Amino acid sequence: MTFGFDQKTIAFGSENEYFGWWRKNFPQSWDIHGPCIRWGEPNLNFLASALGELPFDLIYSPAEESFYFSDYLFEGAYRPVSKARIVALAQKVVQDSVKDANLSHLAATGPIFHSAESWVNQAMLILAVEGNFFKGEKGHRRWIEGRFVEPMEKPSVVQFIESKIQPRKGEVLSTPDAYMSYSFFCCEKGLPQVDKTQFKMQFAREVKNRWQVGIRNDLKADGHSFQGWSELAVV
């Protein structure tokens, strides 16, 4: 993932007006949310929105709990990017804003720099997209785990459930066993595999919607307690 700015775009403007740089480079965010500093504190709504005005169309998918950016190297397909890298990007934006600035401007921008993680957290709300952003005829293409994922393609967790999971009385399915079976399924089918945290969230939501079976923490087998689902089995 390459982050960069056109130097003509980010050139430090009036040395007497540091905040003018932010208004020039992120005009939509400024018009909607106001200045980057408000009442002496970083304006998190503006700063979070500003990340969405960067050239690579950063978005946040609540359904997958992940940031994505549009990568021109992969035909504009959206690629996942970690929160840590977005925080680093936010701090780089602040550093770019004070190039050739005087000491007073450097001091003024300190709170913005140190609040980078807070405005990235706020971006999860400001830059959130609808659940159908990657689905359906008008959905967006993704590049995950070395392959394109088309918007009409069902997520790998959904395909796994439809192919391998059935209600079975008296059966119990632990979270580790479900994820291990899912991993084998993805390898066999050549599908992109989500991590354990995302799998548990997506799997739990799908089986709850399909069979009204919720995840439990009090299941028992061979004298041991574990987390998982009752009345479900891998077939």
Residue identified by tokens 């980010």 is 10
Res. 216 pLDDT band, cuts 50 70 90: very high
Whether 11 has a pLDDT exceeding 70, the answer reads no
| pLDDT number for residue 220 | 81
Whether 118 has a pLDDT exceeding 70, the answer reads yes
Whether 176 has a pLDDT exceeding 90, the answer reads yes
> Which of 172, 185, 178 shows the shortest CA–CA distance to 222?
172
Q: What share of the chain is helix, strand, coil (3-state, %, to 5)?
A: 45, 20, 30
Residue 17 phi, psi dihedral angles, 5° rounding: -135, 85
| pLDDT number for residue 100 | 66
Q: Which amino acid is at 231?
A: E
Whether 128 has a pLDDT exceeding 80, the answer reads yes
Res. 15 pLDDT band, cuts 50 70 90: very low
When pLDDT is averaged across residues 147-170 and rounded to a whole number, the result is 89
Res. 5 pLDDT band, cuts 50 70 90: very low
Helix (H) or strand (E) holding 80: strand 77-81
| pLDDT number for residue 111 | 87
Helices (H), the chain: 7-10, 19-25, 27-33, 44-52, 83-97, 103-114, 116-126, 156-164, 175-189, 196-211
CA distance to 9, 30, 47, 59, 123, per residue, from 129 (Å): 27, 20, 18, 7, 11
**% of the chain exceeding 70 in pLDDT:** 88
Give the pTM: 0.62
Q: Report the chain's terminal Cα–Cα distance, integer Å.
A: 40
How many CA atoms within 13 Å lie on the side-chain side of 128? 12
**% of the chain exceeding 90 in pLDDT:** 58
Q: What is the domain partition of the chain in residue ranges?
A: 7-147, 154-234
| pLDDT number for residue 32 | 95
When pLDDT is averaged across residues 57-62 and rounded to a whole number, the result is 95
Name the residue with higher pLDDT: 4 or 171.
171
Whether 8 has a pLDDT exceeding 60, the answer reads no
Q: Using an 8 Å Cβ cutoff, are 176 and 229 in contact? A: no
CATH code reported for the domain at 154-234: 1.10.10.10
Distance between CA atoms of residues 30 and 24, nearest Å: 9
Distance between CA atoms of residues 206 and 213, nearest Å: 9
Whether 14 has a pLDDT exceeding 80, the answer reads no
Q: Who's near 200: CB < 8 A, 6+ residues apart?
A: 175, 179, 215
Q: Give residue 80's region: left, alpha or beta (phi > 0; psi -120 to 50).
A: beta
When pLDDT is averaged across residues 13-42 and rounded to a whole number, the result is 81
Residue identified by tokens 């959905």 is 139
Whether 13 has a pLDDT exceeding 70, the answer reads no
Q: Using an 8 Å Cβ cutoff, are 109 and 47 in contact? A: no
Whether 9 has a pLDDT exceeding 70, the answer reads no
| pLDDT number for residue 140 | 92
Res. 210 pLDDT band, cuts 50 70 90: very high
> Which of 12, 10, 18, 9 shows the shortest CA–CA distance to 111?
18
Other beta carbons within 10 angstroms of residue 124's beta carbon come to: 17
Res. 7 pLDDT band, cuts 50 70 90: very low
Whether 1 has a pLDDT exceeding 80, the answer reads no
